[in-house]
Amino acid sequence: MSKRTEWKEPVLIDPDKLQSHTDKEQETPKAQEIPLQSVSVVTEDNNDTLQTDKQPRTDKKRSRWTTVFTASIILLLSAGVIGEIYRLINWGFVIHPALGITFSALTGVTIISGLFWIWQGLKGLRQLKKTEELHTQAEALRGQKTHGQAQPLLKKLDAYYENTPINKSFKEAVRQVDSAYNDGEIISYISQHALQEQDEAAHQCVHRYSVQSGIMVALSPYATFDMWLVGWRNLKMLREITNIYGISAGATTQWSLLKKVLHNIAFAGLSEMTIHASSHILGSSLTSTISARAGQGIGAGLFTARSGLQAIKLCRPLPQEPSEQLQLASVTQSILRNIK
């Protein structure tokens, strides 16, 4: 039996409404004008920057925690030392008043000498910084043919050498300057004559320590001992050079000067200097005949000489005429004469 279809009432459709409905479906959105000022270009670098900004700044946190840790260790050690000193003094007074007074006097002397040592180091660091500033200004005027720009620098040098043994020779060199000299000639003249006595003493010091270090390394059979010996003599040489140029020779000054000297040596290239010295000064035949220990001694002597010459440059507020190769040649020949 077939299914009967249900009858549905017809729906009347208005043609006008049908036309308006199709128009709405086909209607496209109108274009909008966007001002150029509001347009921004987003590149990959900007995205990377945004991503890096979102990352936590661990470096600052790490440095902050490192500072806190270092300060805590220093405070803890200081508290321990102070407590032990107090117990020692108290124990001395319990045993005998004279022993307690002795411990108290030794503690006072230690504290006073430590404070003086710190003050001397800080004074030397300030002098090195001032010397570097004056050297930079003098280097800028070197070779200039202008007039009148060297006067402010001479006033600063006069104040720098006030109440020092160098002040007399500096003023004497200033009085001998010709009025026709330009700024570059004034700097060169003052550099050659004001510090002539100090330069001679410093170069003799460098030559002496370099030759001694080279001879001891060449004759010593212990390599580790050689390294300690060269380092100790280099520190002693730096201390003597700073005293020659009137800079306070504290331990802090020595380490700061040594760090700058090693940085300058590494920048200049010690290996290139050694090759140049060995090939042009010794000669090919002599280089092939010297022993390995003699070669090590020459290398140690050249390193000490190079360190001393760099220290002289850093301790002088005025640039010096280059005479490095002559000094290195003299050191090498002196070492060879003494080890033959």
The token duo for 291 is: 């022993």
For residue 204, what are the CA distances in angstroms to 118, 291, 327? 30, 27, 10
Statement: residue 31 has pLDDT above 70: no
Question: What values do phi and psi take at 281, rounded to 5?
Answer: -95, -45
Calpha distance 332→323 (Å, rounded): 15
The token duo for 220 is: 């010593």
Binned at pLDDT 50, 70 and 90, residue 60 comes out as low
Best CA proximity match to 250, nearest among 129, 122, 157, 152: 122
Calpha distance 253→237 (Å, rounded): 13
Calpha distance 12→123 (Å, rounded): 107
CB proximity list for 21: less than 8 A, separation 6 or greater: none
Sign of the CA dihedral running 42, 45, 51, 52? negative
Q: Mean per-residue pLDDT for 130-142?
A: 88
The 10s digit of each residue's pLDDT in 239-298 is 999 999 988 877 777 788 878 887 776 655 544 455 455 544 444 444 444 566 677 777
Statement: residue 43 has pLDDT above 80: no
Contact between 297 and 335 under an 8 Å Cβ cutoff? The reply is yes
CB proximity list for 324: less than 8 A, separation 6 or greater: 306, 309
**Lookup result for tokens 């940085």:** 263
Calpha distance 272→280 (Å, rounded): 12
Contact between 334 and 302 under an 8 Å Cβ cutoff? The reply is no
Sign of the CA dihedral running 122, 127, 133, 139? negative
Statement: residue 192 has pLDDT above 90: no
Statement: residue 51 has pLDDT above 80: no
CB proximity list for 216: less than 8 A, separation 6 or greater: 226, 229, 297
Q: Is the pTM of this model over 0.75?
A: no
Alpha helix positions (H), 55-142 = 58-95, 97-141
Eight-state DSSP code of residue 144: -
| pLDDT top residue among 325 and 117 | 117
CB proximity list for 283: less than 8 A, separation 6 or greater: none
CB proximity list for 319: less than 8 A, separation 6 or greater: 135, 138, 139, 142, 187, 191
pLDDT at 4: 56
The token duo for 216 is: 């001891």
Calpha distance 294→298 (Å, rounded): 6
Q: 270-277 and 324-339 helices cross at what angle (nearest 10)?
A: 60
pLDDT at 91: 92
Calpha distance 103→86 (Å, rounded): 10
Contact between 125 and 259 under an 8 Å Cβ cutoff? The reply is no
First to last CA, the chain: 135
Eight-state DSSP code of residue 29: P
| pLDDT top residue among 152 and 293 | 152
Mean pLDDT of the chain: 75
The token duo for 68 is: 């806190």
pLDDT at 37: 52
Domain ranges of the chain: 80-271+290-338
